[in-house]
């Protein structure tokens, strides 16, 4: 069973070459130091032989790749240990709109319905030197080799498992060349590699929204960046003109009264009190007026961020936002009809009993109906998906031993304690 599909951008040499000059200039300033991870959420999943509806008015590009499949839980494994955690490999198509920037391009470009078909897994022991071939309507259009990747399978597992525990069934897509192949309605795209079952998909025009295939997978956990203007200005940003959405993987979620690990030798581990919207039924192309009908209710989370790991423009940055234990989420969902006005709730964070953050959901830049409607314009929201709506001003560092309580009026109270890496490791023994 698939759990989380992680993917890595800028892992093919041709991409690094193509972007090299831009990466030494503003706004990037420097090439990324660590892998640029992103997530292909469950609405993007398809299997071989399923059709994929192309978004209207957009140019879609095929990005044939190979994914490694985790067979055995991997937490902080070294490159030398990584191979024993890999069950095999799959072919995949990391479909995307044009990649014009690496500043949060991901969600609208990469997370559309059907934008991640994957084939069947084969228990290959090694992906080195694998040639990935793309055929469109029977004609070979691209061939590349995994020797051209900057980081191979073992390096990717080691880098990701350093902060995110990988579970059996998780997949890491290993990257695509800079050159992608435009696909059109009617095209049949076949991705092949020796030793792996071919991946075959036909593209069709998007007419009416297609029913979602019954795929299993974690609910998607969306989060908003800078959705309160006062918080954006405390981080020296302007309020965004359109929603800045990132996705957090399941590894980061924990519950009420749980612990969160502060990495050693960092300066900025910030709490973030956030209202979380829980989707109640499938939502595609819903208007702002209809949007609340698709909301089951509300809960709250603490969207911790280790800001030392921010790398300028390379966002969403999973090392900052999707680390193990760094998203305490309250398990109780308060039904929508018990929250008369989600845009008029007080949020508070207390550290060791002292009030440190206070704001109101009135100050959201993009309110709940807008967010549900906006996301549903380009992806299908499913029951259980959640949207963490951003945090107001008032961030501060937290240290091991701190008790952090996030409270939202009428929604709940979430308690969490900060531990050091050493304390956490000892608790696991
Ligand atoms: O971390 C940042 O600097 C901004 C950011 C996310 C911010 C939030 O999570 C928030 O405002 O609640 C980012 O993803 O870049
Ligand atoms: Mg946040």
Residue 92 CB coordination number (10 Å): 27
Instruction: Identify the residue whose C-alpha is closest to ligand 1 atom 3.
Output: 235
- By most ligand atoms within 8 Å of CB, the mutation choice from 235, 387, 392 for ligand 1 is 235
Span from the CA of 245 to the centroid of ligand 2 (angstroms): 10
And the tokens for 74? 């991997």
Name the stretches of the chain with pLDDT < 50.
none
For residue 190, the cross-strand partners are: 135, 200
Distance 73 CA to ligand 2 centre (A): 28
**pLDDT value, residue 106:** 78
Q: What is the pLDDT of residue 311?
A: 77
* 213 Cβ contact list (under 8 Å, min separation 6): 45, 46, 47, 50
Indicate where the chain has its CATH 3.90.850.10 domain(s).
5-205, 221-428
Collapsing DSSP to helix, strand or coil, 351 comes out as strand
Q: Specify the CATH architecture of the domain 221-428.
A: Alpha-Beta Complex (3.90)
* Amino acid 26: pLDDT: 83
* Predicted structure pTM score: 0.96
Correct CATH for 5-205 of 3.90.850.10, 3.40.50.150, 1.10.10.10, 1.20.1090.10? 3.90.850.10
Closest by Cα among 404, 410, 322, 408 to 358: 408
- Atom in ligand 1 nearest the alpha carbon of residue 227: 11
Instruction: Return phi, psi of residue 372, to 5°.
Output: -65, -45
Which DSSP helix (H) or strand (E) runs through 295?
strand 295-302
Query: Which pLDDT belongs to residue 105?
Result: 54
- Tokens 């192949």 label which residue? 181
181 phi and psi angles, rounded to 5 deg: -110, 125
Are the beta carbons of 64 and 90 closer than 8 angstroms? no
Does ipTM top 0.85?
yes
Residue 78, Cβ density class (10 Å: 0-12 exposed, 13-18 middle, ≥19 buried): exposed
Residue 310 has a pLDDT of 84
Q: Are 191 and 132 in contact (CB under 8 A)?
A: yes
Q: What is the DSSP string of 62-98?
A: E-EEEEEEE-S-BSS--HHHHGGGEEEEEEEE--BS-
Alpha-carbon torsion 410, 304, 218, 110, what sign? positive
Q: What gap in Å lies between CA 408 and CA 301, rounded to an integer? A: 10
The pairs formed by 181-186 with CB atoms below 8 angstroms and a separation of 24 or more are: 181/61, 181/62, 181/134, 181/136, 181/141, 181/142, 182/59, 182/60, 182/61, 182/62, 183/54, 183/60, 183/61, 183/62, 183/95, 183/136, 184/54, 185/54
- Report yes or no: 87 and 81 within 8 Å, Cβ to Cβ: no
Q: In the structure, which protein residues have their CB atom closer than 6 angstroms to any atom of ligand 1?
A: 223, 225-227, 231, 235, 246, 272, 303, 305, 307, 310, 315-316, 390-391
Q: Output the pLDDT for position 214.
A: 59
């Amino acid at each position: 069973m698939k759990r989380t599909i992680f993917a890595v951008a800028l892992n093919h040499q041709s991409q690094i070459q193509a972007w090299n000059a831009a990466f030494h200039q503003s706004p990037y300033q420097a090439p990324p130091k660590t892998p640029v991870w992103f997530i292909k959420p469950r609405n993007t999943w398809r299997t071989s032989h399923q059709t994929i509806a192309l978004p209207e008015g957009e140019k879609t590009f095929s990005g044939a790749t190979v994914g490694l499949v985790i067979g055995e839980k991997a937490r902080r494994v070294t490159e030398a240990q990584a191979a024993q955690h890999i069950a095999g490999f799959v072919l995949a198509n990391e479909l995307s709109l044009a990649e014009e920037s690496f500043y949060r391009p991901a969600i609208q470009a990469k997370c559309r319905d059907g934008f991640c078909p994957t084939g069947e897994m084969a228990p290959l022991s090694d992906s080195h030197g694998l040639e990935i071939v793309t055929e469109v309507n029977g004609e070979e259009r691209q061939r590349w080799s995994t020797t051209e990747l900057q980081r191979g399978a073992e390096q990717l597992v080691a880098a990701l498992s350093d902060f995110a525990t990988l579970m059996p069934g998780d997949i890491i897509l290993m990257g695509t060349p800079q050159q992608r192949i435009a696909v059109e309605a009617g095209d049949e795209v076949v991705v092949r590699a020796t030793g792996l079952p071919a991946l075959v998909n036909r593209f069709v025009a998007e007419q009416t929204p297609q029913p979602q295939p019954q795929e299993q997978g974690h609910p998607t956990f969306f989060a908003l960046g800078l959705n309160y203007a006062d918080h954006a200005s405390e981080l020296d940003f302007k309020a965004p003109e359109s929603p800045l959405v990132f996705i957090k993987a399941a590894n980061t979620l924990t519950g009420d009264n749980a612990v969160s690990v502060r990495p050693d030798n960092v300066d900025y581990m910030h709490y973030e009190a956030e209202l979380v919207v829980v989707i109640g039924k499938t939502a595609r192309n819903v208007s702002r007026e209809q949007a609340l009908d698709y909301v089951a209710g509300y809960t709250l989370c603490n969207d911790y961020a280790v800001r030392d790991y921010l790398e300028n423009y390379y966002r969403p940055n999973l090392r900052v936002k999707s680390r193990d234990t760094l998203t305490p989420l309250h398990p109780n969902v308060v039904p929508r009809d018990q929250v008369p006005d989600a845009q008029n709730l007080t949020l508070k964070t207390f550290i060791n009993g002292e009030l440190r953050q206070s704001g109101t959901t009135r100050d959201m830049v993009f309110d709940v109906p807008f967010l549900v409607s906006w996301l549903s314009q380009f992806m299908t929201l499913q029951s259980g998906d959640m949207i963490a709506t951003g945090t107001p001003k008032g961030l501060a560092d937290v240290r091991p031993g701190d008790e952090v309580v996030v409270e939202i009026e009428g929604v709940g109270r979430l308690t969490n304690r900060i531990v050091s890496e050493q304390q956490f490791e000892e608790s696991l023994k």
